[in-house]
Structure 1
Amino acid sequence: MTAELADAEMLVVLRGACSRVGFDAADAELLRLGENAIYKLPGDIVVRISRPGQQAAAHREVQVARWLEASGVEAVQTVPEAEQPVEIDGRSVTFWRELPPHENGTPVQVATALRKLHGLRPPANFTLGEVAPFVRLQERIEAASTLTADDRRWMLEHLAELRQRWDDLPKGLPWCVIHGDAWVGNVVSTDDGQVILLDLERTSIGPPEWDLVHTAIKWKSFGWISEKQYDEFCDVYEYDVTDWQGFELLRDIREFRMTTMAAQSATTNPADREQAVHRLACIRGEQGPRPWGGWKALD
């Protein structure tokens, strides 16, 4: 499906959902069209449309946001006027308060936010569920039409290997509430100094190292941050995940997830094909040792 067709399809869903809750979708602005479609409405409202079949996940994300707000954790907030999620044509639609001007958080800000989140007791009125490190990876691989047969075979075999290694994950820090996708784009800093958690879809119970490895690979795998910045991150969190026996496994899973995301995106966005090829070459050992150059944000 082309981006134009996808946008047209999402607009139908958007208008149906807005009609249900009494919002006007006439001047909606498309912000992002990826795994989820994101639109902005007048009145500082952001609408998120899920991929099909995510009703339970969307419902839980709304619950998580409301629980974090009640717990005093700064995170993206739902629009209280809307009864949500709204289900339209198999897709879940949720409504959120638009954030004030912001930028990606620094490693120190990420560490501070994660310490606070990891210290929470799990909610009493609903179940978070356990972390799912391999969710949607096989579907992404099978749907990535730009992959060669050899690349697809290798990725499926590598996925099976990672699953087997996960079963033998070494003991680390006690499992706790985790964000689940704690890269700096999901931990942002506003102009007035707030540090806010976004994209709560993967919030769950799991090893805190799963959140920490995001920042570790920015230094170790890609050189996106300096050693000094990483040391500051570890000082604030008071733990260095790279010293843990399970670090290499979580690193490999994270790199693999990023590669499957690029392969999926390249199917509909030709601008991402070069990035998908490069990422796969790196994790296949064809680009030398880490840190690898050339890993860039997807278009």
Structure 2
Amino acid sequence: MTQLSDQIPALHAALTKMQGFQDISLDSLIPMPTSGLAHDHVILSGRDLLLRVPRQSQMRLDAERNLRYQAACFQRMEASGHTPKFHGYLSPSKTVPMGALIVEHIHGTALSAPNDLPAAAKALAAIHTLPLPERTERPPLIDQTDPMAETLTEVQGQAAFLPQAELDADSLRMIREELRAAEQDIASLPKAPVALISFDAHPGNFLVKDDGTAILVDLEKGRYGGAGFDLAHATLYTSTTWDVATYSEPSRDEIAHFYHCWRAALPMALGDALSPYLMPMRRLMWLWSITWCAKWRVESAKQIRAAKHQVQDTEDWSAENTSARLIDHVRGRVDLYLSPEIIERVRQDWS
């Protein structure tokens, strides 16, 4: 894989062509350690700004559409007061194939559960209660009219990788049982209310400021969908144990308190309307995560894709696209989450 440090000169050259950045020095661009599969980050020293440099699109978008989608996520959620401010982006080019977003550099510490879970709940509530724009104004973000049914369709697309993922027979049986149960959930409920959501609210995507405010910093998957997906993603075992810096195993009571804090921050009518969907969405969010694990196990074995600025779909889970250290961590998590012992443990949340 290309090292982030090797990209700094090209990023600097592109940045100096933008209004307000013509005088920025090369040594002001400080690469951060890689911590995720989809992005690198570069501090703009002295500016309180950060470059988010994509390595791929998890939304299966081309490079330009990927940046526009992410820009819209930051712009839509900014009014919540719990996300970084958006400052523009570098367009994709031959020298910077995936471009880069320019966003506020949040100074904070990793979220520590369970103590910081109430702050995360308030942050998500602030996003979920933002006024919904007219449907014609919601693109480019995904706009679901039936959040559960449409998310199940995504899950089923990822579930196509299950037969190739070399799963334990018990794991495969339980996942298929849960897929059938999710179908029954959807058949028994009316369409869920829609809100602006992150769809990637796992604890590693939060930073907590000195005043206790939680900031959700990774917004590339935002959509109009079911708020319960965010609550699940913040507290499922497959989320709270993913990131080394935020590893935790909250108790059932601590997770219930997180949900209570979120609901207390909502208007009562909205909380009542969303309540019947919270547990079904918890199951469905876990299914999304676990089928992604199966997909990653299959796709990570493929070769890295080249010339990403020229293709219509820049999704690329190749292990060659990421450092060996991070790949080893992800592989360990995926293997754990796909094990029958952990699947049985997680599904007890709703069974």
TM-score bracket for the superposition, by shorter chain length: 0.7 to 0.9
Q: What residue is the counterpart of 2:209 in the other structure?
A: 190
The aligned counterpart of 1:234 is 259
AA paired with 2:91? V
Q: Match for 2:3: what amino acid? A: A
Spell out, residue by residue over 1:39-58, the C-alpha distance to the aligned partner (whole angstroms, 9 max, x if none): 11222221111135332232
Change (3 A) 1:226 1:266: farther
Q: For residue 15 of structure 1, what is the aligned residue in structure 2?
A: 12
The letter for the 1-side match of 2:27 is A
Work out the CA distance in 1 between the residues paired with 2:287 and 2:8: 37
Aligned residue type for 1:273: D
What's 1:37 paired with?
Answer: 40
Give the corresponding residue for 2:27.
26
- 1:26 corresponds to which letter in structure 2? D
Contact 2:238 2:337 in 1 (8 A): no
Matches within 5 A, 1:1-299: 1=1, 5-21=2-18, 22=22, 23-33=24-34, 34-43=37-46, 44-51=48-55, 53-69=62-78, 71-79=79-87, 83-89=88-94, 90-104=97-111, 106-124=116-134, 125-127=137-139, 128-130=141-143, 134=154, 151=166, 170=186, 171=189, 173-218=192-237, 224-238=249-263, 244-257=279-292, 264=317, 267=320, 268-271=322-325, 272-273=327-328, 276-277=331-332, 279-280=334-335, 282-285=337-340, 289-290=344-345
Whether the aligned pair in 2 keeps the contact of 1:178 and 1:208 (CA below 8 Å) is yes
1:197/1:174 CA distance change after superposition, 3 Å:
same
**Hey, what's the Cα distance between the residues in 1 that align with 2:45 and 2:133?**
33
SS at match of 1:94: strand
Percentage of identical aligned residues = 17
Deviation at 1:285, TM superposition (A): 1.9
Provide structure 2 residue ranges, at least 5 long, that are not aligned to the other structure.
57-61, 145-149, 242-247, 264-270, 301-316
Tell me the TM-score normalised to structure 1 length.
0.72
Q: Secondary structure at the match of 1:248?
A: helix
* Cα offset, 1:77, TM superposition: 0.8
Query: Which residue identity is paired with 1:10?
Result: Q
Question: Cα–Cα, structure 1 residues 254 and 74, in superposed 2: closer, same or farther, change >3 Å?
Answer: same
Q: Structure 1 residues 278 and 181, CA, compared in 2 at 3 Å: closer, same or farther?
A: closer
Conserved in 1, the CA contact under 8 Å of 2:228 and 2:278? no
Question: Could you tell me how far apart the structure 2 residues matched to 1:251 and 1:72 are?
Answer: 26
2:253 maps to amino acid: K
SS at match of 2:236: helix
Say if 1:245 and 1:62 are closer, same or farther in 2 by CA, change over 3 A: closer
SS in 2 for 1:29: strand
Residues 253/45 of structure 1: CA separation in 2 closer, same or farther (3 Å cut): same
Specify the code of the residue in structure 2 equivalent to 1:60: Y
Flag structure 1 segments of 5+ consecutive residues without an equivalent. 142-148, 293-299
RMSD value, Cα: 4.2
Measured in 2, the distance between the counterparts of 1:241 and 1:276 equals: 35
Deviation at 1:169, TM superposition (A): 6.0
| Structure 1 pair 122–163 and aligned structure 2 pair: CA distance change class (3 A) | farther
Matched residues, number: 276
- Higher RCO by CA contacts (8 Å cutoff, separation 6 or greater): 2
Describe the SS at the equivalent of 1:49: strand
Distance 1:48 1:231, change over 3 A: same
SS of residue in 2 equivalent to 1:47: strand
Q: How far is the alpha carbon of 1:290 from its aligned partner?
A: 1.4
Q: Which amino acid aligns with 1:228?
A: D
Distance 1:284 1:184, change over 3 A: closer
- CA–CA separation in structure 2 for the residues paired with 1:24 and 1:60: 29
1:6-41: per-residue Cα shift (whole Å, max 9, x none)? 325533542232232223333422114342111112
Question: Would the aligned equivalents of 1:77 and 1:96 in 2 still touch at CA under 8 Å?
Answer: yes
Question: In 2, distance between residues paired with 1:276 and 1:195?
Answer: 29
C-alpha separation in 1, matches of 2:110 and 2:332:
29
1:261 Cα deviation (Å)? 5.7
In 1: Cα distance, 2:15 partner to 2:218 partner: 21
